[in-house]
Amino acid sequence: MSLTREHLAQEIIDAGRFLYGRGWSPATSSNYSTRLSPTEALLTVSGKHKGQLGMDDVLATDLSGNSLEPGKKPSAETLLHTQLYSWRPEIGAVLHTHSVNATVLSRLTPQDFIEFEDYELQKAFSGVTTHESRVRVPIFDNDQDIARLAAKVQPWLDAHPDCVGYLIRGHGLYTWGARMSDALRQIEAFEFLFECELKMRSLLNVKA
Ligand SMILES: CSCCC(=O)C(=O)COP(=O)(O)O
Ligand SMILES: [Zn+2]
């Protein structure tokens, strides 16, 4: 059964309240989307406070990132959402957040990835069934040119079909799922793992 636009918009509003409440989407940062149809996404309007979204603060775009609702300005990062819907037809929701831990960890890491290993919570990621696995999370340098950034993300996605999310250095996290609940679960898992990693590094006095 396909969900109505109203239901999908409410999922985005509820996600914003939750993520803002956890401190992972401060102020107007972050953007969220759901798949509206095989060729359209429903996405947050640019510049809105994500803890206070209303029904008018979302708009439909095509999968090239073009607004289908004149008068509404799509998120500056629309292309990073729509490229994921184009990449995998089973993706139904994409979340981008700006937590302190994602920001600090991505800045502290000189390599272009971080890897999680031997954490039970890795099993919260789609497709992971044991802690005896490695979840590699690429880190892309931040770029105000989102088309250029998307062009750097695409080859990684194509080479890693099991990728569950990525970081943008000093900026934030992207993750996704078949449904909004899956994307939210992955955000929570990432945040738990980021915090573990930062605590481990500070206790071990590891710089990177
Ligand atoms: C104040 S945060 C800077 C922009 C950003 O990174 C973000 O996630 C929000 O951008 P949008 O255009 O989607 O509001
Ligand atoms: Zn952002």
Would you tell me how many other CB atoms lie within 10 Å of the CB of residue 78? 24
pLDDT for 181 beyond 90: yes
Note the ipTM here: 0.99
Residue 96 CA to ligand 1 centre (angstroms):
9
50-78 per-position pLDDT tens digit = 999 999 999 999 999 999 999 999 999 99
Q: Determine the residue of 12, 25, 28 to mutate for testing ligand 1's pocket, defined as the one with the most ligand atoms within 8 A of the Cβ atom.
A: 28
Any atom of ligand 1 within 6 Å of the Cβ of 30: yes
pLDDT for 1 beyond 90: no
Any atom of ligand 1 within 6 Å of the Cβ of 47: yes
94-141 per-position pLDDT tens digit = 999 999 999 999 999 999 999 999 999 999 999 999 999 999 999 999
Dist. CA 15–CA 20, nearest whole Å: 8
Please, what's the largest Cα pairwise distance for the chain?
53
Report the CATH number at residue 117: 3.40.225.10
pLDDT of residue 2: 80
> Residue 74 forms beta bridges with which residues?
45
Dist. CA 102–CA 47, nearest whole Å: 21
Ligand nearest to the CA of 28: 1
Residues 157, 33, 107: CA angle, nearest 5 degrees: 55
Dist. CA 120–CA 97, nearest whole Å: 23
pLDDT for 207 beyond 80: no
Q: Give the chain's mean pLDDT.
A: 97
Residues 6+ apart with CB under 8 A from 2: none
Any atom of ligand 1 within 6 Å of the Cβ of 103: no
CA 184 to chain centre: 9
Any atom of ligand 1 within 6 Å of the Cβ of 142: no
Q: Whose CA is nearest to atom 1 of ligand 1?
A: 29
Dist. CA 132–CA 40, nearest whole Å: 37
Average pLDDT over residues 154-173: 98
Residue 28 CA to ligand 1 centre (angstroms):
6
- Helix and strand tally (H, E) in the chain? 5, 8
Q: Whose CA is nearest to atom 8 of ligand 1?
A: 30
Residues found in the chain = 208
Residue 206 CA to ligand 1 centre (angstroms):
31
* DSSP per position, 35-71: EEETTEEEEEBTT--TTS--GGGEEEEETTS-BSSTT
Any atom of ligand 1 within 6 Å of the Cβ of 21: no
Ligand nearest to the CA of 173: 2
Domains held by the chain: number: 1
Could you list the residue range(s) of the whole structural domain that residue 194 is in? 5-206
pLDDT level of residue 14 (50, 70, 90 thresholds): very high
pLDDT for 82 beyond 80: yes
- Structure token pair of residue 1: 């059964």
pTM: 0.97
- CB-neighbour burial class of residue 121 (10 A; exposed 0-12, middle 13-18, buried 19+): middle
pLDDT of residue 208: 64
Any atom of ligand 1 within 6 Å of the Cβ of 33: no
pLDDT level of residue 206 (50, 70, 90 thresholds): confident
Dist. CA 162–CA 141, nearest whole Å: 21
